């Protein structure tokens, strides 16, 4: 069984093998260490001139990668912890995101910045955050998030490889840390996993319980939250006979809501799940768009997210702050009243 | 080496462009603001006289002089500042966000430095002989990303030439309130060969820039050139806190145009001025008659 980590690592190897203009810059990325989360393992051994291990200079390496991208290379930047992406914010927002449009479409910036986000490992307030919402809604920046599901041969690694090799636009690639050890799931005894494609976005997934009656609620989630959605949907079905459809986008920004709308048009109810803090987040945007576009067809909408607090180090506190399967169950049961 | 006539023409072209900008700003023809290069023209002209066709130039908020010395069109720059569709970037970028051929500029301090180093590195990886020139000011010495860049450029041996134009004042903050320690030591600490000059004569600046460009090009390693200079105009428009007497004295003592004019017959200078006056006036007219873009 392939883990998400193996899938992503293989994707990096494939990208390096198929295009000599692919480079990787990051801290502690050389073998035998191969990166703090082992994503780059084996790369520097095989492509020594194209893997640049860097000093602790997130803004510097992101800027260097931007320059490389402007001059026709396809650099990948690894930021060791997603929390540190704030150090590269000026590069991402005032430079990388701007160049193509500000320069009247005369340049391209095919750069991919990968970074692990998320908690549940006790790393505490500055190594556990889910910060991608800071980069959502920045024109010119694409934000992608893989999950552990696979359909029609498209999985986390495919998303990474294809984006590195073919995207013309800068991308932030958010890898939730708990995804790494999950198996890539294409074949589930419980769920039918369908690939959702639209021209405007990278493919997503739709999960339906096998042989279940029509779903009465739509859950949408990305990254590791999609796994919690899966677990919750299973319990809701077996313990409460409530059937849900799960819509899992991999493209978080720019966001195309059509797949979610089609699902909610059938179910009438929408639950958005995210690991970032609740206020002013991804779920708020999805809910607002659904309300604007569906009107009274949307009978009930709820968001589940982290509390508006830093992520604590203490296990019980961290569990209390981050969204859980139990919380999904409680919320869905409340939504039954509508 | 470029002839004195050519250098004079380039310096005067920048001067006349910037004066025309300041003369026409009150008429409301330009959007936003501007940062003029008056007084510093010999830097751009002297440094970029060594620029080869494949070389890359990355400039900052005060980029008009660099753009014109690189060979950019005055009409396209006027049009860009007027937000017209014929502008360098179709009116999207304005005064400080230019891109044409291998010329780039951006208006946020410091961030362009690692990008320039990355461009230099890319050209090295692609085995071209191109070098990258990046212009920064004394004010940018306050930005942390500069020091990350110097470290990376030295570690990875990027063929980039850092050109520091020290005009002794960052917006309204004089260098003594903004910069501790030594300017050259900042670069030398990273093992980057550094040259320094305090002159407004293009004939002094050009050979030094030539020497450093050659070093960067031949060794495929970084270099730094520190040009102590004087800006005669405000930071942008109407925000000069220096005394008019001081600025006047600088104009008397440090005018790159007057300094070079001494090396040329008066008739040659006046002939060049007449031609450039016509080019700039015509460029302004062209820009004014250009259409606005549509989204």
Report yes or no on A185 lying in a domain.
no
Task: Verify that A102 and A29 share a domain, yes or no.
Answer: yes
**Do residues A282 and A272 touch, judged by C-beta distance below 8 A?**
yes
Residue A309 in any domain: the answer is yes
A202 and A175 within one domain: no
Instruction: Determine, yes or no, domain membership for A50.
Output: yes
Determine, for residues B115 and A64 on separate chains, whether the beta-carbon distance falls below 8 Å. Answer: yes
Last residue within a domain, chosen from A137, A155, A179: A179
The residue of B57, B72, B84, B122 whose CB has the most chain A CBs within 10 angstroms, and thus the best one to mutate to test that interface, is: B122
Q: How many domains does chain A have?
A: 2
Mean pLDDT value of segment B61-90: 98
pLDDT of residue B239: 86
ipTM over 0.95? The verdict is yes
User: What CATH number is given to the structural domain containing A224?
Assistant: 3.40.50.920
Q: Number of structural domains, chain B?
A: 1
Write down the pLDDT at residue B235.
87
Q: Which of A179, A206, A235 is the C-terminal boundary of a domain?
A: A179
**A148 with A216, same domain?**
no
Residues A270 and A169 in one domain: no
Last residue of a domain, one of A179, A203, A237: A179
User: A216 lies in a domain?
Assistant: yes
Average pLDDT over residues A183-192: 95
Q: A307 and A233, same structural domain?
A: yes
Mean pLDDT of chain B: 97
Determine, for residues A60 and B149 on separate chains, whether the beta-carbon distance falls below 8 Å. Answer: yes
The model's pLDDT over B90-136, given as tens digits with 9 standing for 90+, comes to 999 999 999 999 999 999 999 999 999 999 999 999 999 999 999 99
> Residue B103, SS3?
strand
Q: What is the pLDDT of residue B238?
A: 80
Rounded Cα–Cα distance for residues B146 and B194 (Å): 15
Confirm whether A186 is domain-assigned. Answer: no
| pLDDT at residue B237 in the model | 84
Domain presence at residue B219: yes
Q: How far from each other are the two terminal CA atoms of chain B, in whole angstroms?
A: 45
Q: Would you list which residues of chain B are within 8 Å, Cβ to Cβ, of chain A? A: 56, 89-90, 92-93, 97, 99-100, 104, 106, 108, 110-123, 125-126, 144-145, 148-149, 151-152, 155-156
- Is pLDDT at B1 greater than 80 in this prediction? no
Whether residue B222 contacts residue B6, with contact meaning beta carbons closer than 8 Å, is answered with: no
Q: What is the mean pLDDT of chain A?
A: 97
What's the pLDDT tens digit per position in B188-224? 999 999 999 999 999 999 999 999 999 999 999 999 9
Per-residue pLDDT tens for B128-139?
Answer: 999 999 999 999
Q: Which residue of A has its CA nearest to B123?
A: A71
Interface test with B, best of A27, A54, A103 (most B CBs within 10 A): A103
Look-up of token digits 């636009």: A169
Rg of chain A, C-alpha, whole Å: 20
Residue A16 has pLDDT above 80, yes or no: yes
Q: Which domain holds residue B73?
A: 4-288
Whether A145 and A15 share a structural domain: yes
Read off the pLDDT band of A145 (50, 70, 90). very high
C-alpha pair distances (Å), A52 with each of A24, A148, B115? 6, 28, 16
Residue pLDDT, tens place only, B144-164: 999 999 999 999 999 999 999
CA A187 to chain centre: 21
Which residues span the domain enclosing A155?
4-179
Note the pLDDT tens digit of each residue in A282-321: 999 999 999 999 999 999 999 999 999 999 999 999 999 9
On whether the CB atoms of residues A89 and B80 are closer than 8 A, the answer is no
CB contact set of A302 (below 8 Å; sequence gap of 6+): A270, A271, A272, A331, A334, A335
Q: What is the CATH number of the domain that holds B36?
A: 3.40.50.970
Query: B295 in a domain, yes or no?
Result: no
Q: Select the residue from B94, B108, B118, B149 to test the A interface by mutation, using most A Cβ atoms within 10 A.
A: B118
Instruction: Specify whether the CB–CB gap between B87 and B81 falls below 8 A.
Output: yes
As beta bridge partners, residue B251 has none
pLDDT tens, residue by residue, B24-40: 999 999 999 999 999 99
């Amino acid at each position: 069984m392939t883990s998400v980590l193996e899938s992503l690592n293989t994707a990096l190897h494939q990208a390096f093998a198929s295009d000599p203009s692919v480079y990787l810059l990051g801290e502690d990325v050389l073998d035998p260490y191969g990166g703090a989360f082992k994503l780059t393992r084996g790369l520097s051994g095989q492509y020594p001139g194209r893997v640049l291990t860097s000093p602790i200079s997130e803004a510097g390496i992101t800027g260097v990668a931007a320059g490389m991208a402007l001059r026709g290379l396809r650099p990948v930047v690894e930021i060791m912890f997603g929390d540190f992406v704030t150090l590269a914010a000026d590069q991402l927002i005032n430079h990388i995101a701007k160049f193509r449009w500000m320069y009247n479409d005369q340049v391209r910036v095919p750069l991919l910045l990968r970074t692990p986000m998320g908690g549940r490992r006790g790393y505490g307030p500055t190594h556990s955050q889910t910060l991608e919402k800071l980069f959502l809604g920045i024109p010119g920046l694409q934000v992608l998030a893989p999950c552990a599901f696979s359909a029609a041969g498209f999985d986390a690694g495919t998303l990474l490889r294809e984006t590195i090799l073919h995207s013309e636009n800068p991308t932030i690639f958010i890898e939730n840390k708990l995804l790494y050890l999950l198996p890539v799931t294409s074949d589930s005894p419980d769920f039918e996993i369908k690939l959702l494609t639209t021209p405007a976005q990278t493919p997503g997934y739709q999960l339906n319980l096998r042989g279940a009656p029509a779903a009465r609620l739509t859950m949408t989630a990305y990254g590791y939250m999609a796994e919690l959605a899966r677990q919750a949907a299973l319990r809701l079905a077996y313990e409460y006979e409530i059937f849900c459809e799960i819509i899992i986008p991999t493209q978080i920004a720019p966001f195309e809501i059509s797949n979610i709308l089609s699902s909610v048009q059938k179910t009438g109810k929408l639950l958005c799940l995210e690991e970032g803090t609740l206020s002013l987040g991804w779920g708020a945007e999805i809910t607002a768009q659904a309300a604007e576009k569906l009107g009274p067809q949307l009978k009930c909408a709820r968001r589940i997210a982290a509390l508006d607090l830093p992520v604590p180090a203490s296990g019980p506190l961290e569990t209390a702050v981050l969204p859980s399967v139990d919380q999904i169950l409680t919320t869905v049961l409340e939504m039954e009243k509508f | 080496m470029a002839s004195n006539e050519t250098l004079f023409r380039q310096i005067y072209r920048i001067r006349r462009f910037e004066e025309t900008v300041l003369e026409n700003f009150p008429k409301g023809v330009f959007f936003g603001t501007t940062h003029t290069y008056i007084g510093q023209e010999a830097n751009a002209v002297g440094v970029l006289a060594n620029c080869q066709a494949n070389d890359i130039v990355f400039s900052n908020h005060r980029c008009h002089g660099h753009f014109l010395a690189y060979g950019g069109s005055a009409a396209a720059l006027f049009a860009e500042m007027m937000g017209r569709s014929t502008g360098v970037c179709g009116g999207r970028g304005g005064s400080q966000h230019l891109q044409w051929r291998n010329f780039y500029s951006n208006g946020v301090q410091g961030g362009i430095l690692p990008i320039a180093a990355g461009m230099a590195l890319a050209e090295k990886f692609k085995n071209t002989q191109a070098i990258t020139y990046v212009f920064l000011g004394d004010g940018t010495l306050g930005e942390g990303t500069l020091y990350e860049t110097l470290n990376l450029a030295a570690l990875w041996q990027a063929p980039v030439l850092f050109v520091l134009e020290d005009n002794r004042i960052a917006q309204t903050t004089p260098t003594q309130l903004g910069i501790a320690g030594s300017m050259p030591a900042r670069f030398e600490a990273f093992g980057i060969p550094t040259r320094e000059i305090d002159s407004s004569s293009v004939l002094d600046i050009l050979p030094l820039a030539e020497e450093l460009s050659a070093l960067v090009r031949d060794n495929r390693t970084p270099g730094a050139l520190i040009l102590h200079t004087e800006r005669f105009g405000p930071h942008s428009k109407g925000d000069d806190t220096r005394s008019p007497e001081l600025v006047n004295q600088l104009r008397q003592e440090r005018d790159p145009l007057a300094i070079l004019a001494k090396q040329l017959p008066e008739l040659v200078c006046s002939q060049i001025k007449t031609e450039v006056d016509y080019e700039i006036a015509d460029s302004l007219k062209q820009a004014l008659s250009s259409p606005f873009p549509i989204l």
